[in-house]
């Protein structure tokens, strides 16, 4: 068991491209850390530097208390599970799982014991004598994970291990890897581009973009308090809605005014936005905080929008709406009488709004 520390780590590839820019990251002992971000943001490069498969140009990488920059991958005591978990096709499941231990000259009886125990944990006991082509995609993925676990490494590194599975199997394996983490109590670093995977699996999530860490926080901290526009838009489905507008403040009141939209701000927001009077900001609001107004009983402020598309999900319904030329989404109760083309009165929950500086794209708090 070990923590993993990256101090001022950078990676410039030979063609001069800077894939990872001076990142600082401490992954705690026994933590499940997810690195998430769009394709090309530097997740795999970061993971491969921890593994020793890529060399860092700058900075220090530590596993436990030991600086490992000059330690060979095989001596770092890590296990790596890739997206393309190449199993040896001519070997049985048992042999695939035993392979790494054999190389390390572990005694035969111990290999048998460890492989069988791991197979039991992963539900592979019945298929130990089969070859990879006789397994389902999910079983093959489990063998790849088993091959990593059986070595009992200090740190597990996963690079998009579920991307090749179908949607249902992905959800199932997601839960299995989480369970595995609880039972093994080992340090795991998990790379994915899928924010749902990140949210559901991570103890903490490190959001990256363009080789830079955008925010490092627990799933709900990220959801509730995104540091910037990128994180706000990346985490959560449907994505957060954004409206450009201007803050107008007076002695008695403060308002956010956008194209076809007007919101009264509360005292806290008025204070937060006091430096922004007359200035352009971006307002963000998640779909669940936009609700259909009951015009009869609700005397408060409404904003009107045209209903463009209705998507019933069963447990809730997504309404795709438009104010002038600006599109956004509301997540409303499933059973409603809304129709396409309707001019619908909405309540945007002012308490739940986020404001971002239009220039810096940083959250205004």
Ligand X SMILES: Nc1ncnc2c1ncn2[C@@H]1O[C@H](COP(=O)(O)OP(=O)(O)O)[C@@H](O)[C@H]1O
Taking CB within 5 to 8 Å according to partner kind, which of ligand X, Mg ion, none is near residue 19? ligand X
CA 255, CA 121: separation in Å to the nearest integer? 57
The pattern of x and - marking residues 32 through 51 that bind ligand X according to CB under 6 A reads -----x-xxxxxxx------
Interaction of residue 44 with Mg ion, rule CB under 5 A:
yes
Which CB sits closer to ligand X, 202 or 245?
Answer: 202
- Only segment of 12-20, 67-75, 241-249, 290-298 that touches ligand X (CB under 6 A): 12-20
Interaction of residue 228 with ligand X, rule CB under 6 A:
no
Q: Which residues contact 170 (CB under 8 A, 6 or more apart)?
A: 162, 197
We find the least distance from the C-beta atom of residue 39 to ligand X, in angstroms, to be 4
Which CB sits closer to ligand X, 28 or 82?
Answer: 82
Taking CB within 5 to 8 Å according to partner kind, which of ligand X, Mg ion, none is near residue 45? ligand X
Using alpha carbons, select from 64, 19, 66 the residue that is nearest to residue 43. Answer: 19
Which CB sits closer to ligand X, 52 or 284?
Answer: 52
For the chain, the maximum distance between any two Cα atoms, rounded to a whole number of angstroms, is: 81
Interaction of residue 17 with ligand X, rule CB under 6 A:
yes
The CA R_g of the chain, rounded to the nearest whole Å, is: 25
CA 112, CA 155: separation in Å to the nearest integer? 23
Terminal-to-terminal C-alpha distance of the chain: 38
Taking CB within 5 to 8 Å according to partner kind, which of Mg ion, ligand X, none is near residue 199? none
Interaction of residue 214 with Mg ion, rule CB under 5 A:
no
Number of residues this chain uses to bind ligand X (CB under 6 A): 12
Which CB sits closer to ligand X, 42 or 132?
Answer: 42
Interaction of residue 88 with ligand X, rule CB under 6 A:
no
We find the least distance from the C-beta atom of residue 86 to ligand X, in angstroms, to be 18
The H or E element spanning position 224 is helix 219-224
**Which residue minimizes CB distance to Mg ion?**
44
Taking CB within 5 to 8 Å according to partner kind, which of Mg ion, ligand X, none is near residue 15? ligand X
Strands (DSSP E) found in the chain: 4-12, 18-27, 32-36, 58-63, 66-67, 78-81, 155-159, 187-192, 204-209, 212-217, 241-249, 254-258, 261-264, 280-285, 290-292, 303-312, 316-323, 326-333, 343-348, 354-357
Q: Which residues contact 142 (CB under 8 A, 6 or more apart)?
A: 122, 123, 124, 173, 176
Length of the chain: 365
Which CB sits closer to ligand X, 233 or 238?
Answer: 233
Using alpha carbons, select from 352, 225, 332, 356 the residue that is nearest to residue 283. Answer: 356
Which CB sits closer to ligand X, 39 or 182?
Answer: 39
Cα dihedral across residues 284, 352, 249, 324: positive or negative = positive
Interaction of residue 13 with ligand X, rule CB under 6 A:
yes
CB 322 within 8 A of CB 309: no
The pattern of x and - marking residues 4 through 43 that bind Mg ion according to CB under 5 A reads ----------------------------------------
We find the least distance from the C-beta atom of residue 42 to ligand X, in angstroms, to be 4
One of 2, 6, 9, 19 touching ligand X (CB under 6 A): 19
CA 278, CA 294: separation in Å to the nearest integer? 32
- Only segment of 14-22, 69-77, 164-172, 232-240 that touches ligand X (CB under 6 A): 14-22
We find the least distance from the C-beta atom of residue 11 to ligand X, in angstroms, to be 8
CA 313, CA 315: separation in Å to the nearest integer? 6
Query: Rule CB under 6 A: which residues touch ligand X?
Result: 13, 15, 17, 19, 37, 39-45
Query: Rule CB under 5 A: which residues touch Mg ion?
Result: 44
């Amino acid at each position: 068991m070990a923590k993993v520390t990256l101090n001022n780590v950078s990676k410039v590839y030979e063609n001069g491209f800077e894939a990872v820019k001076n990142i600082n990251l401490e992954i705690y002992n026994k933590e499940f850390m997810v690195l998430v971000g769009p394709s090309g943001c530097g997740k795999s490069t970061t993971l491969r530097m921890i593994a020793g498969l890529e060399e860092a140009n700058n900075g220090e990488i530590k596993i436990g208390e030991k600086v490992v920059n000059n330690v060979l991958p095989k001596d770092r005591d890590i296990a790596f599970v890739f997206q393309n978990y190449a199993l040896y096709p001519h070997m049985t499941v048992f042999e695939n799982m035993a392979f790494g231990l054999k190389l390390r000259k572990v005694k035969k009886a111990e290999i048998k014991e460890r492989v069988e125990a791991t197979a039991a944990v992963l539900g592979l006991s019945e298929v130990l004598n089969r070859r990879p082509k006789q397994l389902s995609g999910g079983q093959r993925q489990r063998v790849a994970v088993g091959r990593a676990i059986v070595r009992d490494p200090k740190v597990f590194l996963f690079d998009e291990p579920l991307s090749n599975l179908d949607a249902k199997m992905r959800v199932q394996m997601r839960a299995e890897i989480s369970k595995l983490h609880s039972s093994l109590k080992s340090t795991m670093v998990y790379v994915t581009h899928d924010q749902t995977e990140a949210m559901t699996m991570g103890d903490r999530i490190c959001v990256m973009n363009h080789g830079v860490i955008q925010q490092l926080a627990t799933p709900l901290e990220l959801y509730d308090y995104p540091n910037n526009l990128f994180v706000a838009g990346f985490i959560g489905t449907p994505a957060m809605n954004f409206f450009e507008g201007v803050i107008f403040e007076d002695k008695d009141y403060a308002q956010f005014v956008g194209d076809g939209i007007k919101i009264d701000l509360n005292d806290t927001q008025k204070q937060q936005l006091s430096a922004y009077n007359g200035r352009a900001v971006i307002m963000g609001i998640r779909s669940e905080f936009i609700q259909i107004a009951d015009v009869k009983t609700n005397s408060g402020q409404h904003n009107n929008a045209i209903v463009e598309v209705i998507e019933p999900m069963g447990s809730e319904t997504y309404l795709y709406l438009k104010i002038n030329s600006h599109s956004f989404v509301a997540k409303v109760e499933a059973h409603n009488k809304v129709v396409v083309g309707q001019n619908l009165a909405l309540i945007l929950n002012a308490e739940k709004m986020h404001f971002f500086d239009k220039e810096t794209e940083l959250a205004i708090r």
